[in-house]
A and B are shown apart, each in its own frame.
Chain A
Amino acid sequence: MTQHRPAFRRSSIVWATLFAAAALVAARPAVAQSNTHDPRVGLRAGLYDAGVAAKGLDLVAHRNKPDIFHPMDPGGLTYANSDMAFGGHYAFQGNFSGIQIWDIANPLDPTLVDADVCFTEQGDVSVYGHLLFVSAENRGSRLDCGTQGVQDSVSKQRMLGIRIFDIADPAHPKQVADVQTCRGSHTHTLVPDPKNKGIVYVYVSGLAPVRSKNEMKGCEGGDITDPNTALFRIEVIRVPLAHPEQARIVSSARIFNDLLAPPTHGVAYADTANGAAARIPPRFGPKMPPNTSAADSAHAMRLAGLMFAERTDAKQVSMLSDSLQAMGIKFSLPSFGPPGGPSQCHDITVYPAAGLAGGACSGYGLLLNIKDPLHPVRIQAVADSNFSFWHSATFSNDASKLIFTDEWGGGTQPKCRATDPIDWGADAIFTLKHDKLTHVGYFKMPAAQTEDENCVAHNGGLVPVPGRDIMSQAWYQGGVSIFDFTDPAHPKEIAYYDRGPIDSTKMVLGGYWSAYYYNGYLYGSEIARGLDVFKLTPTADLTQNEIDAANLVRFEQLNPQDQPRLVWPAAFPVARAYLDQLTRDDGLSATRRTAIADALNEAEQASGAKRAGTLKKLAGELAGDVKGSSDVKRVRLLENVVRRMAAKS
């Protein structure tokens, strides 16, 4: 290789290179903290004594990672905490090297029931009845859970797929099955059989390279045209709850087939001249240009349509080849495996009540019909030139909106600096109507973070406040953020909790993997620091009545990727939550609001027929209020709940 060097030594290109690189370094100033007045900016660093800024969230309990996960030695993924699931009064917390089971009967005092080392990566967890499911993706993951890795390229010891544990006795989980898959399991999603309560399906999303067919029969890594390829599909595992040892793959859904020209929402904000120039994040996220120009849209459509041209059009392949050869480069795409472009999903969120799923699948967000869970069918694919890595999805409760997250940089890097475009590594909010997704806005945690904090969009779920669409979300070391997307074009942050970086001198991996609301509390899985439990507290953006109403929604179990439909009981806090919302948006006159509040108080103090009578009268009045309200929908919600309360009194 040395014979070419002299030519290069003399070349002016070197100095161009030097200055380009120097400019690159210079172009990245320290985070312009003074550009935002957010209290989260400039927090003191520390593993367990970092500075904290919070709004609307009180940390009510914290537990370090158990000692077996080396809590004092943060910074790597080896013992990183990952996702969470909930069943009864237990919280299940994944770890790259094992599982943790917390008793949360008293959320103010979580108690570790069990922690086991079982090297797995990423260790995403789901729970169904007495079974715990854990994703295994690392090539060193072993059937025997050992941490010594797997030395051979082909080995009977390797475990890539879904581990199943019996947790009937949570203090002593028993490994009952390992379902091997060709690409392992990065994440997975439970889908209960709609007809048979004894069956649950598991959708498996694997990102790892296809393993050798000598290790697992049938594992081929061919092109999309190869009917046997383990790429371009998800695996569906059928688990009989009474006999989990019989769990096996029953279908491989090819949801990528014929994915040619997905419609897009048009050029993303950051791709416009204004967006590209935006260096300083606005406080509450960007707005899409009111009208993306037709020319822009046409261009984006063309790009999207051509995205997979190499698969279908030999002429275009030939042109590409010529172009490369003109540079003296041998066109060698096939030698690198299947054509570029997405061949897997990172994560899938199912919403069985709506018969839908949102698939975050590399370069695409897919909308799937899952009415037949064995055979999910793609309804629509959206692409977004503003997105790097489609990560996960969350539906609004009425399935009229779908949020996709973009985990730009994979989660291990700082992507929330003042210099990072505000809508890169963010959430994209779509409306969903008649099975059609339309992009309407972005949301990103708005406070500029430092170079020492890995930060990008990550896992979250709905907070069950009636009458509003509210989501809690983890942003790694960007903290937990809770935002309202009732108006999808104008999402608004309403609460947050953030600690300073783990280390003030370099980036040490940490922060929240996920933040989920479960039966009255918000649970945060902190990668390095352990488990956090929060309570929502009232602010101008969220009242105590709304918090109380959310608290009325109780689940027996919660797997956030298996999204449950939220249903609120007919109860006073729910009625008052709606009334508070009518106050906040001035949806009814002050006089009427006072009268309604008085009527609710009177009814609550009464009982039996008197209560029913008061409520019935109020419901009648509310029906009349609809006409004079600027928020008809909410007045109707209030009327409806009051009527139901009257009926059950």
Chain B
Amino acid sequence: MKAVPQRRRSRALPLAVGLFALGIIAARLPAQTPKPVRKDYTDADVMFMQGMIIHHAQAVVMSEWAPTHGARHDLQILCKRIALSQYDEIKLMQHWLMDRHLPAPDPLHMLSPHAGPVHDSSPMNMPGMDMGPDPMMMSGMLSAEQMRQLDAAHGTAFDRLYLTGMIRHHQGAIAMVADLFKTPGAGEQPEISGYATDIDAGQRVEIARMQAMLTTLTSSPAK
């Protein structure tokens, strides 16, 4: 998180600043100002939720490619599940942030074809799509080059790149959870606690499933 360039002015939450600067914060706060919520979170919690939204967005994009990139049938099913699950989780995290008047990244909204470039940057600058060398930043996300390779792949080649990429992506999410729980006072707010625990448990199972699929790919001739 610390590596996000603070190109505008300094704020309390470095990631939030980074996201603002990159123009991907949604101005989608509820029309009516909700009643104030007592502060039941830490900065690390906020960064976790904001970061995980971006992290998930990439997983959704990758997974939605499965039908058009000739993924094999069982992988298409898994991709559908991952896309559907993480899409819903993005919405959940956005609500959590907006309920607390915190900046909520809205990558899916931003990525609509009518959105157009914002500020001096464009959606291409979405962090994580181009995560740079800092492994602390959205750990496990694919670089632009890796995304390009995945998009260019088809059939078994896509399956292989998707599975290796998504296994690492999931491992990154698990690492983010571990980091959250290592931070003093963080991960205690019940929704975050429950949600982070779900990510840990759920994505471990999916990793196992993907590793099994990958092994069956690896044992067949690679294209």
Instruction: Identify the A interface with B (CB < 8 A).
Output: 1-5, 7-9, 11, 13-14, 16-25, 28, 73, 75-78, 80, 96, 121-122, 137-140, 149-153, 186, 207-209, 270-271, 273, 276, 299, 302-304, 306-310, 316, 319-320, 323-324, 326-329, 332-333, 335-337, 339-344, 346, 362-363, 385, 388-389, 408-410, 412-415, 420, 424, 505-507, 509
Given contacts A5-B130, A13-B144, A276-B77, contact A22 B113 (CB under 8 A): yes
Cβ of B48 within 8 Å of any chain A Cβ, yes or no, is: no
Sampled A-B contacts (11; CB under 8 Å): A4-B132, A9-B124, A9-B125, A11-B124, A23-B64, A121-B190, A149-B185, A276-B73, A319-B219, A336-B174, A340-B170
- Least CB separation from A273: chain B residue: B73
Residues of A within 8 A of B60 (CB): 21, 24
In the complex the two chains form, is A336's CB within 8 Å of B130's CB?
no
Cβ of B9 within 8 Å of any chain A Cβ, yes or no, is: no
Min CB distance B80 to A, Å, is 7
Min CB distance A488 to B, Å, is 24
In the complex the two chains form, is A77's CB within 8 Å of B171's CB?
no
Cα–Cα distance between A310 and B204 once the two chains are bound (Å) = 13
In the complex the two chains form, is A25's CB within 8 Å of B108's CB?
yes
Residues of B within 8 A of A327 (CB): 146, 149, 161, 164-165
Min CB distance B70 to A, Å, is 15
Residues of A within 8 A of B112 (CB): 18, 21-22, 25
Cα–Cα distance between A341 and B204 once the two chains are bound (Å) = 5
In the complex the two chains form, is A2's CB within 8 Å of B5's CB?
yes
Given contacts A5-B124, A385-B74, contact A323 B181 (CB under 8 A): no
Residues of B within 8 A of A335 (CB): 175
Cα–Cα distance between A505 and B91 once the two chains are bound (Å) = 13
- Residue among A139, A336, A340 making CB contact with B178, cutoff 8 Å: A336
Cα–Cα distance between A149 and B148 once the two chains are bound (Å) = 44
- Residue among B64, B95, B177, B212 making CB contact with A303, cutoff 8 Å: B212
Residues of A within 8 A of B202 (CB): 388-389, 410
Cα–Cα distance between A9 and B137 once the two chains are bound (Å) = 19
Query: Given A149-B185, A388-B205, A506-B95, list of 7 further CB < 8 A pairs?
Result: A19-B113, A21-B57, A21-B64, A24-B60, A78-B191, A303-B74, A410-B202
In the complex the two chains form, is A4's CB within 8 Å of B143's CB?
yes
> At the interface, is chain B mostly helix, strand, loop or mixed?
helix
Residues of B within 8 A of A316 (CB): 215, 218
Min CB distance A573 to B, Å, is 43
In the complex the two chains form, is A336's CB within 8 Å of B74's CB?
no
Cα–Cα distance between A223 and B64 once the two chains are bound (Å) = 34
In the complex the two chains form, is B57's CB within 8 Å of A1's CB?
no
**Chain B stretch 81-115: residues in CB contact (< 8 A) with chain A:** 81, 83-85, 87-89, 91-92, 95, 99, 107-108, 111-113
- Kindly count the residue-residue contacts between A and B in the assembled complex, taking CB atoms under 8 Å apart: 261
Given contacts A9-B122, A410-B202, contact A332 B188 (CB under 8 A): no
In the complex the two chains form, is A342's CB within 8 Å of B204's CB?
yes
- Least CB separation from B133: chain A residue: A1
Min CB distance B199 to A, Å, is 9
Cα–Cα distance between A341 and B210 once the two chains are bound (Å) = 11
In the complex the two chains form, is B147's CB within 8 Å of A17's CB?
yes
Cα–Cα distance between A303 and B205 once the two chains are bound (Å) = 13
Cα–Cα distance between A298 and B209 once the two chains are bound (Å) = 16
Cα–Cα distance between A28 and B3 once the two chains are bound (Å) = 35
Given contacts A24-B64, A149-B188, contact A8 B124 (CB under 8 A): yes
- Residue among A18, A307, A409, A413 making CB contact with B212, cutoff 8 Å: A307
Indicate the member of A149, A273, A410 with the most B CB atoms within 10 Å: A410
Given contacts A327-B165, A362-B201, contact A1 B147 (CB under 8 A): no
In the complex the two chains form, is A207's CB within 8 Å of B201's CB?
yes
Residues of B within 8 A of A153 (CB): 182, 184
- Least CB separation from B149: chain A residue: A327
- Residue among A276, A306, A343, A509 making CB contact with B215, cutoff 8 Å: A306
Given contacts A18-B111, A302-B216, contact A1 B132 (CB under 8 A): yes
Min CB distance A150 to B, Å, is 7
Residues of B within 8 A of A326 (CB): 164
**Chain B stretch 139-168: residues in CB contact (< 8 A) with chain A:** 143-149, 151, 160-161, 164-165, 167-168
Given contacts A20-B61, A306-B215, A362-B205, contact A323 B40 (CB under 8 A): no
In the complex the two chains form, is B168's CB within 8 Å of A329's CB?
yes
Indicate the member of B5, B123, B164, B170 with the most A CB atoms within 10 Å: B164
Cα–Cα distance between A343 and B201 once the two chains are bound (Å) = 8
Residues of A within 8 A of B40 (CB): 78
In the complex the two chains form, is A2's CB within 8 Å of B132's CB?
yes
Cα–Cα distance between A18 and B130 once the two chains are bound (Å) = 15
